[in-house]
C-alpha cells in the first residue's frame, strides 16, 4: 500500500478544508473594501487653494489625513528667498 493510502479520509478532508478557507481568506483580504480602515483617517474635501492651505496647516499630527481635491486647483507661485 502506498503512503497516501495510509492517510485517513478525515485527514484529507480537513487538509482540503484548510486550504479552501485559507484561499478564501486571501481573496477576502485582497479585495475587501477598506472603508473600515478609512474611518480611522481624517478626510478633508477642498475646493480651492485657500482651503487646501488651511487643510495642510490644520492636519493633525497624530492621525492620517486624506485631502480630497473636489475641483481642479490652480496654485499661485510664491517666491522663496534664496538661502546663502
Q: Which three cell numbers stand for residue 26?
A: 486571501
b/e map of 64-81 (b: 16 or more CB within 10 Å)?
A: eeeeeeeeeeeeeeeeee
pTM of the entire structure?
0.45
Q: What angle do CA 8, 25, 28 make, to 5 degrees?
A: 150
Alpha carbons 48 and 52: distance in angstroms, whole number:
6
Range from 3-12, 13-22, 50-59, 73-82 carrying the lowest mean pLDDT: 3-12
Q: What is the pLDDT of residues 16-75, one digit of tens each?
A: 999 999 998 888 877 765 555 555 578 889 999 999 999 989 888 887 888 999 989 888
Per-domain residue ranges for the chain? 1-32, 33-76
Amino acid at each position: 500500500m502506498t503512503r497516501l493510502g495510509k492517510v485517513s479520509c478525515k485527514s484529507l478532508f480537513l487538509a482540503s478544508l484548510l486550504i479552501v478557507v485559507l484561499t478564501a481568506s486571501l481573496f477576502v483580504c485582497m479585495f475587501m473594501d477598506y472603508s473600515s480602515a478609512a474611518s480611522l483617517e481624517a478626510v478633508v474635501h477642498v475646493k480651492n487653494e485657500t482651503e487646501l492651505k488651511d487643510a495642510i496647516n490644520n492636519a493633525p499630527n497624530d492621525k492620517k489625513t486624506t485631502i480630497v481635491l473636489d475641483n481642479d486647483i490652480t496654485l499661485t507661485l510664491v517666491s522663496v528667498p534664496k538661502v546663502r
